[in-house]
Every structure is written in structure tokens, then in C-alpha cells.
Chain A
Amino acid sequence: MSGCDLTVNLAGIELANPVLTASGTFGYGRELASLYDLKCLGGIITKGTTLLPKAGNPPPRIAETPAGMLNSIGLENPGVEAFLRKELPFLRQFGVPVIVNIAGETVEEYGRMASILEGAEGVAGLEVNVSCPNARAGGMAFGVNADTTARVVEMVRRATSLPVLAKLTPNVTDIVGIARAAVEAGANGLSLINTLLGIAIDVRTRRPVLGTVKGGLSGPAIKPVALRAVWEVATALDAPILGVGGIVTGEDAVEFLLAGASAVAVGSANLVDPGAAPRILQELREYMKREQFGRVRDLVGLAHPLRVVSRA
């Protein structure tokens, strides 16, 4: 579409457009590659990948909730070696920035993951998962306070020169403080947010639905919480933000840009509408055309007071 500049720079990564697919909802791209050309995406964020393969949590791993869902997948993934050998070569062929989401059980593991991925052809950046509520030993613990978040980010920072996004959990008292610590420890940007912690109970069996009882809440229901996190962090810090949480339409994406995100990631929407990401991108284009914005980056942070905007 002429006259519509969708390019953005997210934490040092040049993107053709601001719509990426979020970690955990897209696998490593194989399933959806048969539906549409992944080349149309702004970027792909892989499934959370760990040093060693993980089988994941005991089922049930999914529960439905109003306008959303709980997941307790447990980071099922083939491990970083298999990722490099089998999945990355597949993803690379689409010419779209691939950001690898990494998760570890110890601070050292994050560092090792970063070293292993440093220099891997086709990896455009890392998204550091300090906030996954499903990892049994450590994931949740890291992301709930500034110190442990900083230690993880520091370890990653030392091991790689790749752009690093810290993906933060909203299940905290002060997300701005944690964001600040992540940036000071060397994160180039922030992914806001990961899932909320929730439970569902089956009234017929009178037991929790999920095998692990608690799970991560995602979907449209969490959008207001995600927007609030983006708003607060954008108000306090200059660091680039990737907005994630309940985006199902182009206008949802616009809300996140206006709140201060430079780009957005589409997650749960992929599960219920596999063509969601390209559709959302198209709806974003239509909004820009309708509202007469020539460059998508001019939307970033526009909803904040005291922003001076020149519409080129």
C-alpha cells in the first residue's frame, strides 16, 4: 500500500512492520507456514526454549475463561540444540527477524543459552523469559523482583551482543521498578506483558481444571492490564517496548502503540484465528489510512499527555 510506512526499529532490530507473533502461540512457525507466507510478519518470537528439552506439564494444560484462557504448558520445547539444528533453518528461509525466547532454571542457564545463540545465523534478538509462571524452579521467582531480574539480564548481556528484550510479568507490585532494573542491567527493550496468574475450577469434578492448578491467563481479558503496564513503563522510561496481551484486532494494536509500544506481538489470537497476525496488520494499515497517518511510528506514545506530534 503506497504512502504507508510501517517500518519500526524495535530495540535495534529493524522491522518491516510492527506486528510480530508472540512466544508460545506460534510454535516454531511450521504449523502456520502452511496457512500463509510468514514473510508478511514483522517478526517471529519463538516458543520459549530451554537448554535441555522439556516434556512440559501434566495435562490438562488448557482451561477456558471469559474472553481468554489459562495455559500451563510448562515450556514444552525440544531444547536449544534441536532448535538450532532443525527449527532455525526452517524459520530463516522466510527472511523475517526471528527473536528467540529463552528460559532457564538458573541464572547461569540464561547466560549459557545466550552464548549458544550468539552468532547463530538468522537470530535477530533474544526475548528473555523471566516471567513464565509455569517453570517449576525459578521462572516466576526471577521476574517478581528487580534484583533477580537484573541478575538474569546481566548474565545474558555479558554473553551476547544481540538485542535483548526482557519479557516481564504483570504479577508484581511495581512493574516500573523491575523494568528499570532490566534496562539498567543491559536490556535493549521490554516485552510487556507475560500472562497473569489464574485458576479455574471444574464444578463437576470439584477439582482445579489444570494439572498444575495454576496457569497463565491470556487473551482479550488481559488487554487492559497489558495496556496499563505499557503506559506506566512508557511514562517512566525511554526504553522501547513490545506490547503484548489480548490483541485480537488492528485497533487493539493501535491502542498499544498509542500507549507507548513501538511494536506489538499477537499471541492467543493465533490459537483461535490462525490468520490473526496478517489480518491485524491489514486492519492497522486501514486505521492509518482512515486516520491519515503516513508512518506507524508516529502513533507511538501519542496518547500520553505533553507529546508533541508532527504529522508528516
Chain B
Amino acid sequence: MLAAVAAGRGLTRQEVARMRTGWKREDGVVREVREVAAGCFRLEVMAPWVASRARPGQFAMLRPPGYTPFLARPLSFFAIDAEVGTVAFLVGVMGEGTRKLVTLRPGDRIGILGPLGRGFPPTQEVFAASQGSQRGLWLVAGGVGVAPFPPVVREARSVGVTVRALVGARERTRLAAVGDLRAEGAEVEVCTEDVSWGRPGQVTELLREYLDDGAWPGAIYACGPAAMLARVAELVGSIPLYVSVEQRMGCGFGACRGCAVPARKGEYLHACQDGPVFDAHRLDLGALAAEGGMRDEWL
């Protein structure tokens, strides 16, 4: 019980509660809004409190001013710089909310709620189980799903784990973050569905080819449309797989119970508290894909 813990440690109940969740609403200041791919913008915000706590794979809720659109938008941390005190988000413009976010100007204030959710597990934990970081980490990214990966690469490289990133998009102009991933030290291979760059086809096909080669990684992380995640889960067999999922959210911090995602045993987990990063085995990704995916107008 919180009270008992607080009493035992001589802390106020406020302090104990904060230790548990570790997020807040910070008044961020926009530093940069820059288009990095077709319809995709890098939004950088000065938010030192959030930047000092954000972990790879976590997200923040961002809300443009006004009441239409009403809800905040969940965005993965694309860059985390605790020293400078900034975080950045990769914003794919899909609907009213994201459109408003990318019309912000340097100097504008924006409320950042975060850091939220469970991010990717620390690389050392993942690789302790899989016998040797020599086998490396693979990332599979679909479209704007590449967003959480640059901080993941940085953390993995900092403990000497090699990273191969497979990044797919519909067309070349939509590929984002390839340079960022390479700068953090990942080996990147791209594919485009319209054959405009890199390997033609879907990133899941590229993944299958690499798996067929036989040199399996110690773990795989995937982020992208639910249908892609379901396909990746089918392909990877027993290789540890962590996925970052999307679901329509209300609050983003666990109060409303809106962001249910179907779990294995016919129950629900919640993307904002139990995720957005999950051990793929816990989820029914087929059911998640069957919902129809995150369509543009919501974002």
C-alpha cells in the first residue's frame, strides 16, 4: 500500500506516487519544425524534465491548442537529448491534429505529457537471455513506425550490440530517419513498395530473406502498421520479438482505459501503460490488425 510504503520510507504519498509513474505535463518550447520526408516532420522541443527521463520506446502526448481537435496525439520519442534538454518527434501528417502540430513555430509553447508507457527493455536485459550480443539486434520499421528507433540504436550501440535496421516505406520520398539510424551506428537497408529505392517490395519480405540466410539476431524489434507486426511475428519463430503498437488513445496515461489491445488469452492490455512496447507473444496481433489499423483521420 502506498501509505505503508510512504510511512516506512519517510516519504510523502506524493513522492511515492511520483516514483511509481514518473511523468508530468511540461511546458515545452518548440525549437525546430523541419520536413524530413514527404509529409513527415521532425518536431524538436525543449523539455528538460521529460528529456531527462525519457527511455527509448516511450512516448509523449502532444496537444495543439484549442478544442478541435480535442484529444492529444501520442508520439514516440524520435530523439532524446538529456544534456541539452530536448526531445524530438517524427510527425507524419495524417489528420487535423498532426497538421496543427507541424504548423508550430520555433518559440511556440506546447504542452508535453510524458514520458509515458513502457519502452524497449534495456538492451543488456534482452541479450542476457539470448547468449551473446554478437548476434545483434534487428529492427523492422514500416513507414513512420521508424520513429522510436534512433534512441534504440544509440542505447544498443552504447553497450556494443550491433544493429541492423530494415526500413520500409511505400515510396522513396516517404522514407524517413535513414540518416538518423546510420548516424547512431545502425546498418540500414531500405525497401520501397513502389520500387523507387532500395529493395523493391515490403519490409517483411526483406526480413524473410535475411532470416532465410540463417544468421539470426539475438532479438528483433518491430514498429509499424499492425498488419506488418502480425506478419513479422509469423516470420520470426522463436527469436525474441518486441513490438511497439498503436491504438486510439484517450488520455495516454492510464485513466480512461480507452487504448485496449487484444492480448493472447482473450483479455486486453493497454497500449499506454502495459505498452506501447510489448513482448509480441503477449498480444493477439491478428486481432489488432483486423481492427483496420490506425487510419489517417484519427491522427
B248 engages A62 (CB within 8 Å)? yes
Instruction: For B254, list chain A residues within 8 Å (CB).
Output: 27, 30-31
Q: Does A83 contact B (CB under 8 A)?
A: no
Instruction: For B23, list chain A residues within 8 Å (CB).
Output: 34
Closest to A203 in B: B297
B14 engages A37 (CB within 8 Å)? yes
B70 engages A59 (CB within 8 Å)? no
Name which of B25, B253, B254, B256 has the most chain A CB atoms within 10 A of its CB: B256
B258 engages A61 (CB within 8 Å)? yes
B268 engages A55 (CB within 8 Å)? yes
A268 to B260, CA, bound (A): 18
Give how many B residues have a beta carbon under 8 Å from the other chain's beta carbons.
47
B267 engages A274 (CB within 8 Å)? no
A123 to B293, CA, bound (A): 41
Given A33-B17, A35-B24, A64-B298: A274 touches B260 (CB 8 Å cut-off): no
Q: List 16 A-B contacts (CB under 8 A).
A: A24-B256, A25-B251, A27-B256, A32-B255, A59-B260, A61-B260, A62-B249, A63-B248, A73-B257, A76-B260, A90-B2, A202-B298, A219-B67, A220-B67, A248-B67, A273-B111
B292 engages A205 (CB within 8 Å)? yes
Q: Which residue of A60, A71, A76, A90 is within 8 Å of B247 (Cβ)?
A: A60
Give how many A residues have a beta carbon under 8 Å from the other chain's beta carbons.
51
Q: Which residue of A30, A32, A59 is within 8 Å of B291 (Cβ)?
A: A59
Q: Does B215 contact A (CB under 8 A)?
A: no
Residues of A196-212 at the interface with B, using a CB-CB cut-off of 8 Å, are 202-205, 207, 209, 211
A248 to B70, CA, bound (A): 11
Q: A219-B70, A272-B72 are in contact. List 6 more A-B contacts (CB 8 A).
A: A32-B255, A59-B248, A69-B70, A202-B298, A248-B67, A274-B25
State the majority secondary structure of interface residues on B: loop
Q: Which residue of B18, B63, B72 is within 8 Å of A34 (Cβ)?
A: B18
Residues of A50-95 at the interface with B, using a CB-CB cut-off of 8 Å, are 55-69, 71, 73, 76, 89-90, 93-94
Enumerate chain B interface residues (CB-CB to A < 8 A).
Answer: 1-3, 13-14, 17-18, 20-25, 63, 67-72, 97, 111, 113, 247-251, 253-262, 267-268, 291-293, 295-298
State the majority secondary structure of interface residues on A: loop
Q: Which residue of B2, B25, B63, B258 is within 8 Å of A71 (Cβ)?
A: B258
Instruction: For A32, list chain B residues within 8 Å (CB).
Output: 255
A69 engages B296 (CB within 8 Å)? no
B25 engages A35 (CB within 8 Å)? yes
A264 to B25, CA, bound (A): 24
Q: Which residue of B250, B255, B257 is within 8 Å of A69 (Cβ)?
A: B250
A2 to B72, CA, bound (A): 36
Number of A-B contacts defined by CB within 8 Å: 141
Q: Which residue of B3, B63, B257 is within 8 Å of A272 (Cβ)?
A: B63
A64 engages B71 (CB within 8 Å)? yes
Closest to A211 in B: B291
Instruction: For B17, list chain A residues within 8 Å (CB).
Output: 30, 33-34
A67 to B24, CA, bound (A): 24
CB distance from B33 to the nearest CB of A (A): 22
A67 to B69, CA, bound (A): 6
Given A24-B256, A27-B255: A55 touches B267 (CB 8 Å cut-off): yes
Q: Which residue of B14, B250, B293 is within 8 Å of A62 (Cβ)?
A: B250
A59 engages B297 (CB within 8 Å)? no
Q: Does A148 contact B (CB under 8 A)?
A: no
Instruction: For A68, list chain B residues within 8 Å (CB).
Output: 70
A35 to B113, CA, bound (A): 11
Q: Does A145 contact B (CB under 8 A)?
A: no
CB distance from B248 to the nearest CB of A (A): 4
Q: Does A271 contact B (CB under 8 A)?
A: yes
A59 engages B1 (CB within 8 Å)? no
Residues of A204-243 at the interface with B, using a CB-CB cut-off of 8 Å, are 204-205, 207, 209, 211, 219-220
Q: Does A12 contact B (CB under 8 A)?
A: no
Q: Does A26 contact B (CB under 8 A)?
A: yes
